[in-house]
Structure 1
């Protein structure tokens, strides 16, 4: 197994990105964020790519932010005395997620198993979400005393109504696949990973029947009305977390979360993860 945070293949117009991340459960840390941004920027210039699918390795989309990785970053910032670290760092992560949303090619998330915290914010940046019946979703950033700040609170209202979103964000509760479909969080459910990939392939085949510039034009037109609000919201929550939580508070909350015993049968320390 490669140590790369994801691997990609391109076949018949479909670029498939399989996320491995930097920790158990495809946790999102390390070089994942920079490489995701670089891939999306490169994909916009490739004529052989008509659509992009994001999926996770090993039957899990992603448990979200790699807390172990991020705690190390926070402690380094504390030692350096860099008061602006949280604001600067979250904008780097926001840039990677926004590169998914801003990519002119249609992007589909193929979700198995857990899709939590930063992973749900990443899925919300995709144009379409397909999931297996085992998929489950949560936005538990409030457990760490922070506001979700990678775009979930800006993009999820375009998918689900305010009542469902506020319940997700206020409580951190897990939503199963059946409810996710019912509230519009996912487009459709499939029995397994093979069926998910088949659906992505069929979608790409449909897209290839139309000119690429038309697909880009549709996406740009749909996004245009919301872009200013999304940018303002991203700026607001980055500033809010820096002022109200700060590196010290977030480091302590993440360390406490990592010390918490995992539920029986759960993956170790990353069952509830959140964006910084």
Structure 2
């Protein structure tokens, strides 16, 4: 299927979602917000892959992973609604923001890991996107900007509740209040980026190697790890200990444990069942 903002390919159990509007600095047009969750849920629900990698076509004079929300969405009413004199304007705005938030929450809620590879600038809504992923890798010329303050806005699509899980509160406040750029080296030092690389080619080689390693593991156990890590982030230690006990009581598969141990001992790839397909209403 063809998409305005994405190229999608699946190979060796790895789904690669590539932002594909370099001429528009990979800005997030209305179709972006509808298509991204649809793509992610299709991959996840139909067990089409065991890992998702997100990157961007950054051809051009200056590499830009994403410039954030396409400004046309503001003039068209795609974010705020068209009529500010309408007494329901606030309610329309709120519903639109929830819709945009859901597009990135789909990355967090899907059962498989999502890795994002960031080349160049990651601005505004781009930061919302990368913070919803499981792991972030960048090139040495990558940078992030919580840009919304520079246009008189408060970032509202997901940056704040997620970036605080990766960087100290004081640093987040500085970025939010000033709108300054944080370069790749500092992103790695602060814990936002897992690693940085000198070139896009080197980054993608490393990211795909990590994706292949994840794809070789038992999918249900990977799903359990993702679910419990996210649960632990939002709950107490005591609640999480109980949750992991209930999870393994319900989901642990002894035959897959045996296969994993045998495969390791025999120095071969393991053979594991894919996740079950999901039927949505």
- Residues 21-46 of structure 1, C-alpha deviations (whole Å, 9 max, x = no match): 59720001221011001011112123
Partner of 2:243: none
Match of 1:138 among 122, 134, 145: 145
Determine the C-alpha separation between the residues in 2 that align with 1:197 and 1:12.
Answer: 15
Contact 1:104 1:219 in 2 (8 A): yes
Return the TM-score normalized by structure 2.
Answer: 0.76
Contact 1:21 1:29 in 2 (8 A): no
Alignment of 1:1-276 (within 5 A): 4-21=4-21, 24-58=24-58, 59-73=63-77, 74=80, 76-78=82-84, 82-83=88-89, 84-227=91-234
Return the TM-score normalized by structure 1.
Answer: 0.77
Determine the C-alpha separation between the residues in 1 that align with 2:87 and 2:151.
Answer: 22
The unaligned stretches of length 5 or more in structure 1 are 230-276
Structure with bigger RCO (C-alpha 8 Å, 6+ apart): 1
Determine the C-alpha separation between the residues in 2 that align with 1:3 and 1:213.
Answer: 30
Deviation at 1:147, TM superposition (A): 1.9
- Residues 42-80 of structure 1, C-alpha deviations (whole Å, 9 max, x = no match): 121233411111111124210111112222214624376
Higher-Rg structure is: 2
Determine the C-alpha separation between the residues in 1 that align with 2:66 and 2:117.
Answer: 11
Determine the C-alpha separation between the residues in 1 that align with 2:3 and 2:230.
Answer: 35
Contact 1:22 1:66 in 2 (8 A): no
The alignment partner of 1:158 has SS state of coil
Contact 1:177 1:189 in 2 (8 A): yes
The alignment partner of 1:225 has SS state of helix
Cα gap change, 1:222 to 1:75, in 2 (>3 Å): closer
Deviation at 1:228, TM superposition (A): 7.8
Comparing 206-215 with 21-30, which one deviates more in the overlay? 21-30
The alignment partner of 1:31 has SS state of helix
Aligned-residue Cα RMSD (Å) equals 2.1
Cα gap change, 1:3 to 1:125, in 2 (>3 Å): closer
